[in-house]
């Protein structure tokens, strides 16, 4: 007797899946870090680079451009010398903070309990 596929409140077409769409916004490399860095106010390119040491300038530029295009952040050039560029969260961006906060919270909890899984490169067999 073939096994039955059990119900699981699904499936839904992928373009209607709120989780999938939201992950498309925040899922790129370092995206959550960038948004998190902006939570307390505007921040310059070089400040973001300092907040997130492992990010390369290329990827930081990519993330900032995408987030701007999607309305999550805004970019403002300031007439300082040399001219500087400030990035800040839009209203839409601010709405993402609770979700990222929830991730940060599990992270802290797992670390403090010593239950954060070690992430080491898969042993290539």
Partner DNA sequence: TATATCAAGTTTACAATAGAAACCATAATC
Partner DNA sequence: GATTATGGTTTCTATTGTAAACTTGATATA
Give dist(CA 93, CA 87) in Å, integer: 11
> What is residue 53's DSSP assignment?
T
- Side by side, the strands of the sheet bearing 84-89 are 43-44, 84-89, 73-78
Q: What's the min distance (Å) between Cβ of 44 and its own copies?
A: 7
Residue 3 CA to residue 57 CA, distance in Å, equals 51
Q: Report the distance separating Cα 32 and Cα 52, nearest Å.
A: 11
CB of 107 to its own copies, least distance (A): 3
Interface residues toward its own copies, by CB under 8 A: 3, 5-6, 8-11, 13-14, 17-27, 29, 32-33, 36-37, 40, 43-44, 46-47, 50-54, 66, 69-72, 80, 84, 92, 95-96, 98-111, 115-117, 119, 122
Interface residues toward DNA, by CB under 7 A: 1-3, 5, 28-30, 44-47, 54-59, 61-62, 64, 75, 81-86
């Amino acid at each position: 007797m073939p096994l039955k596929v059990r119900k699981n409140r699904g499936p839904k077409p992928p373009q209607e899946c709120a989780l999938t769409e939201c992950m498309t916004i925040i899922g790129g490399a370092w995206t959550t870090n960038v948004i998190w860095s902006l939570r307390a106010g505007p921040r310059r390119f070089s400040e973001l680079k300092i907040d997130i040491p492992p990010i390369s300038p290329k990827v930081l530029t990519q993330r900032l451009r995408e987030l701007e295009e999607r309305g999550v952040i805004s970019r403002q050039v300031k007439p300082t010398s040399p001219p500087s560029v400030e990035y800040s969260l839009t209203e839409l961006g601010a709405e993402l903070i609770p979700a990222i906060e929830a991730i940060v919270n599990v992270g802290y909890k797992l670390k403090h309990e010593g239950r954060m899984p070690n992430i080491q490169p898969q042993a290539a067999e």
